[in-house]
């Protein structure tokens, strides 16, 4: 569109397409990071269960006299490992919540940028979900 001052603006449909493309890339990045967080948490939770089981069996064996009291340092190490796992799992849960909030905010930005005429013309970015996970 040309103005009387010689300034030409871009077609609004092209702007919307640029916005959709940008938001789609950002949504995919958020999903990738969320998947990384979930994979780390799942692996950590498996190791946590194994460590907790080993600690419980070791404590039981010590109480029954089938393991020497000298293994108490092993119990301490397992206990510290369990505490570290719990802290990391909590941190990952906070990160996961933040990713969901960011994703929800992205949906809000997309909804806020769409006007009623544009909504009928363009589709929501492929990877933007409506609900929070």
Residue 133, SS3 per DSSP = coil
Across 4-8, 22-26, 66-70, least confident range: 4-8
The percentage of the chain sitting over the pLDDT mark of 70, rounded to a whole number, equals: 80
26 found inside a domain: yes
Structural domain boundaries, residue 68: 18-112
**Does residue 89 register a pLDDT over 70?**
yes
41 found inside a domain: yes
Quickly tell me which residue has 């300034």 as its tokens: 7
Among 121, 122, 125, residue whose Cα is nearest residue 103? 125
79 found inside a domain: yes
pLDDT of residue 30: 93
Can you give the pTM of this predicted structure? 0.69
Distance CA 102, CA 23 (A): 12
The answer to whether residues 101 and 50 touch, using CB atoms and an 8 Å cutoff, is no
Please give the structure tokens belonging to residue 94. 């906070």
pLDDT of residue 36: 97
28 found inside a domain: yes
pLDDT of residue 39: 98
Structural domain count, the chain: 1
pLDDT of residue 123: 44
């Amino acid at each position: 569109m040309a103005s009387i001052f010689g300034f030409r603006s871009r077609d609004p449909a092209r702007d919307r397409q640029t916005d959709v493309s940008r938001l789609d890339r950002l949504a995919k990045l958020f999903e990738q990071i969320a998947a990384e967080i979930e994979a780390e948490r799942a692996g950590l939770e498996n190791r946590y269960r194994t460590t907790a089981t080993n600690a419980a069996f070791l404590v039981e064996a010590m109480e029954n006299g089938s393991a020497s009291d000298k293994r108490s340092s092993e119990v301490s190490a397992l206990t510290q490992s369990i505490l570290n796992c719990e802290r990391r799992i909590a941190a990952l849960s906070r990160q996961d919540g933040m990713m969901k909030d960011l994703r929800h905010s992205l949906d809000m930005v997309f909804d806020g940028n769409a006007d009623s005429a544009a909504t009928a013309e363009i589709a929501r970015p492929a990877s933007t979900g409506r609900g929070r996970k």
